[in-house]
Amino acid sequence: MRALEVLVFFVAIILCVLITGLVRRYTLTAGVLDVPNSRSSHVLPTPRGGGVAIVLVWASSVVVASFYSSPNLIVLLAILISGFSIAALGLADDVWGLSVYFRLLTQLAASVLIVLVLTAYFGIAPPFAPILVSQALLSLGLVWSINSFNFMDGIDGIAASQATYVLLASLVAVGMIGADVQHWIIILVLASAGACVGFLYWNWPPAKIFMGDVGSGFLGFWLGILAILLHVTHTLSIFVSIALNAVFIADAGVTVVRRILRGDRWYEAHRSHAYQLLARQWNSHQKVTLLLWVLNLGLVSPIAYAAIVRPDCAHWIALGAIVFVAAGCLANGAGRAAESRITS
């Protein structure tokens, strides 16, 4: 790892701490607060929209990357435009509230754009074929990634922690297999990981600011793009990336399916994810967020390693990881109706 790449990581941390502080001051003044209600997991009005800082730091890294290693500028421009589109959509929803149909259509448009650009420039890596079906599946996968990450951003520190883990673990996985990753990709990953670490300074329980949809939607989108980007550049199998995201995929998936089967509006805010139920049971956001780190480091990482060393079975290993975590979520009651409020 080059000195500039390490510098990018630490500069991103500092910048995000500072920018998040400024955003928090503005949101307090402007009254952009997340006011607790019957579906909330917090008890005090808290500023939201802090994800703006993560997006700005990430966007700055895209500019740096464009000068650093001469990547294809069309690819970088597509990443920047689509990422900003999802962030702007989330910010608008945070401030004014948008219809679910408008959000989904905009998310799909941004997803199709980036998938078409990435697959046109890099091609489709095995096992994806034929190309039209692959592009459709990848686009829908990105839409799901946006929304599932948004669903999972319900307690202090959990979303930024997950993003930090997946981003850094992806680089570790790439290093383990000795893949020749393009340096501009490393810059984007380290900058966004640093931004998440910096944001955690403000968002660690008890949170002083929430990232809002502008942050959670963007991070879900960016992690999905990264998984596709690493795959089509023959750097890291997309199934390894899926395994690294197993906890969020499983909890979000189980909960949404159960809510749909029960006849609930799956897209509405609620408190029935496994992590939310645990937070009420333990009366603590911090314990659950720490549990996420334990699961990722102690369970998910070895599983992802198995997917790396057995690429022929990587798809089954990733599926097995999701099923295993999903079983734990079901055992904890994921998807059932929530009742009481908790403290942070």
The answer to whether residue 271 sits within a structural domain is no
The answer to whether residue 276 sits within a structural domain is no
Q: How many domains does the chain have?
A: 1
The answer to whether residue 189 sits within a structural domain is yes
The answer to whether residue 135 sits within a structural domain is yes
The answer to whether residue 221 sits within a structural domain is yes
Write out the residue range of the structural domain in which residue 7 sits: 3-236
The answer to whether residue 299 sits within a structural domain is no
Successive 10-residue mean pLDDT values, the chain, 344 residues? 84 98 93 68 80 97 80 89 97 92 97 96 83 94 97 96 98 88 91 98 96 97 97 94 98 95 84 94 96 98 96 96 97 76 43
Which of 168, 189, 215 has the alpha carbon at shortest distance from 65?
189
pTM for the structure as a whole: 0.94
318 vs 242: CA distance, rounded Å:
6
88 vs 18: CA distance, rounded Å:
21
The answer to whether 117 touches 232, Cβ cutoff 8 Å, is no
Which pLDDT does position 338 carry in this prediction? 54
| Length of the chain (residues) | 344
Which pLDDT does position 342 carry in this prediction? 43
For residue 39, the 8-state DSSP code is T
258 vs 134: CA distance, rounded Å:
27
Which pLDDT does position 344 carry in this prediction? 42
Which of 231, 218, 204, 8 has the alpha carbon at shortest distance from 106?
218
The answer to whether residue 275 sits within a structural domain is no
DSSP string, 269-300: --S-SHHHHHHHHHT-HHHHHHHHHHHIIIII
The answer to whether 203 touches 160, Cβ cutoff 8 Å, is yes
The answer to whether residue 284 sits within a structural domain is no
